[in-house]
Amino acid sequence: MPKGEFGVAEFLSDHGVLIFFDQEAVLTADGYITKPDREAVLYPQDAIEAFDWTGIDIRKESQGPDRTPSTVQYRTIETMVAEEDWEVVIDDDGAGEMADVVLLRRADDELHVLMVHCKYSSEDTPGARLKDIYEVCGQALKSHRARSIIELVIGKLLRREKKRQEAGKNGFIVGDSDALTSIINQARYLRPRVTIAIVQPGMSRAALSPEMAEVLGATERYLHDTYGSTLRVIASV
């Protein structure tokens, strides 16, 4: 095998893998299936946010380097940038991403981090399709370590951005490398407040099914109980 490459078996042996099933069951790296002895928690329907997707093709996820306005990611960024006075907003979409979008701001002794995972709809209109939320919930669960290693997360963002700029691209929507470096240098002295957002315009808030509410509830509980992170769920009306 060429230098620097390794097989799947070797990777799994070294790093392990977690597989999440229904009702909070988890297949751990050592081959055990664990399931909490507790009732499932349903994500509250009224906690789901509905963005305005007018003019957006909900089947097109990434805005791409041209920042196409009719995409899910573009509208998500547009809406979230208007919510707070963010110091840094970066489009990190791509292989090895931390999230599709990462937003950062300092407030007193806290560092607020919003990691956003977007997913396109499988159909033209919103509905109650369980498959539309499985993958994006999985992406959210991969972000759970962000709260415990926030300096590494932000440092990786900077390294990825440097590579983008070397290729003639730019991921910054708000801020620049200097602003991101300033946050990195201060991060260890700030209390992290990490929010994970999942965005799926193919999910209708009004049509939320019990099965979907259970998947979202399990995702929220895992993120909160394990690392104290907050979950935002963004859908259609």
* pLDDT tens for the chain, residues 1 to 237: 455 565 666 655 554 555 656 655 665 555 555 556 557 899 999 999 999 999 999 999 999 999 999 999 999 999 999 999 999 999 999 888 889 999 999 999 999 999 999 999 999 999 999 999 999 998 888 766 655 678 888 999 999 999 999 999 999 999 999 999 999 999 999 999 999 999 999 999 999 999 999 999 999 998 999 888 999 999 999
Does residue 49 share a domain with residue 3? no
Contact predicate 85/175, CB 8 Å? no
Classify 224 in phi/psi space as left (phi over 0), alpha (psi -120 to 50) or beta. alpha
Residue 232 belongs to what domain range? 39-236
CA angle 194, 231, 67 (to 5 degrees): 80
Total number of domains constituting the chain: 2
Does residue 91 share a domain with residue 8? no
Does residue 74 share a domain with residue 44? yes
Does residue 140 share a domain with residue 33? no
DSSP label at 127?
Answer: B
What is the residue type of 228? G
Neighbours of 196 (CB within 10 A): 28
Does residue 223 share a domain with residue 196? yes
Does residue 181 share a domain with residue 166? yes
Does residue 209 share a domain with residue 169? yes
In this predicted structure, what is the pLDDT of residue 12?
A: 55
Does residue 164 share a domain with residue 86? yes
How many CA atoms are closer than 13 Å to the CA of 176, on its beta-carbon side?
Answer: 1
Contact predicate 138/216, CB 8 Å? no
Kindly report the backbone phi and psi dihedral angles of residue 171, in degrees, each rounded to the nearest multiple of 5, phi listed first: -90, -10
Does residue 99 share a domain with residue 13? no
Does residue 100 share a domain with residue 209? yes
Distances in whole angstroms, Cα of residue 161 to Cα of each of 90, 91, 156:
9, 9, 8
Does residue 191 share a domain with residue 114? yes
